[in-house]
A = this chain, B = another copy of it.
Amino acid sequence: MRSAPADETTRDRILSAAVLRFAREGFGASVRSIAGDAGVSPALVIHHFGTKDELHAECDERVLAEIRATKSATIDEITSGQGILHRFANADEYAPMLGYVLRSLQSGGPVGRAFIEQMIEDAVGYTKHGIEAGLIKPSRDERARARYLVLSALGALTLELSLDPSRDPRDIGGTVRSFLATGYLPMIELYTQGVFTTRRMLDDYLLYVPDPPDDAAAEPASD
């Protein structure tokens, strides 16, 4: 009975409903609402997952797995430059997944953290590729730059998302597009020409700080 595939349908239906609810309303979404979406009693949710937290954890795992899957599918879609955000814009099919990630980002959950870490890793690869192709300038600290680029882009996006109250959170692709409509020009303008006319601030900082770290000492305390 355990190994029969039909049994997993209900469990999976609950899981999917939970991911959707969590993505739309955040992790405060009630077990009852999830059960309602799955057409099931609240007790069954607990019966299958034991606890709301365990359900949450399993949703995290599922989303992470899905991310890993779609990542390798779209990795050769880009490989050019900084089109990180554009991948999101016309990705309405991934909308609930992205919503889940942003929720996890806001609440400091493990999915958000893993997602950020992975995007940084990707960005390091992209920039390295771009440098070799002569399209991107090398940085004094590649990892720190990749991290900053990811944090600023994703951070601006989350802010845009939570600041626009009119748009309902379901339509994340729309928010991304709306953000790009206003933010893409200044972004690539900044990326191609910067904002400062002089190197003074940069040189001052480089003088002030003795050692530009060489890829390892970038983060003071992590893995």
Contact = CB atoms under 8 A, between A and B. Distances in A.
Interface of A: 81-82, 105-108, 112-113, 116, 127, 134-137, 139-141, 144-145, 147-149, 151-160, 162-166, 178, 181-199, 201-202, 205, 209, 212, 218-221
A151 B156 contact: yes
Number of copies: 2
Nearest to A195: B191
Contact of A147 (B137, B162, B183): B183
Task: Please report whether the interface of chain A is mostly helix, strand, loop or mixed according to DSSP.
Answer: helix
A187 B113 contact: no
B186 A137 contact: no
Given A144-B182, A147-B186, A183-B144, A197 B156 contact: no
A161 to B, nearest CB: 8
Contacts of A149: 186, 190, 195
A151 to B, nearest CB: 4
A205 B163 CA distance: 26
19 contacts: A105-B162, A105-B163, A127-B195, A134-B197, A135-B198, A137-B194, A137-B196, A137-B197, A144-B183, A145-B190, A149-B195, A151-B159, A151-B183, A154-B159, A155-B159, A184-B205, A188-B196, A190-B190, A191-B194
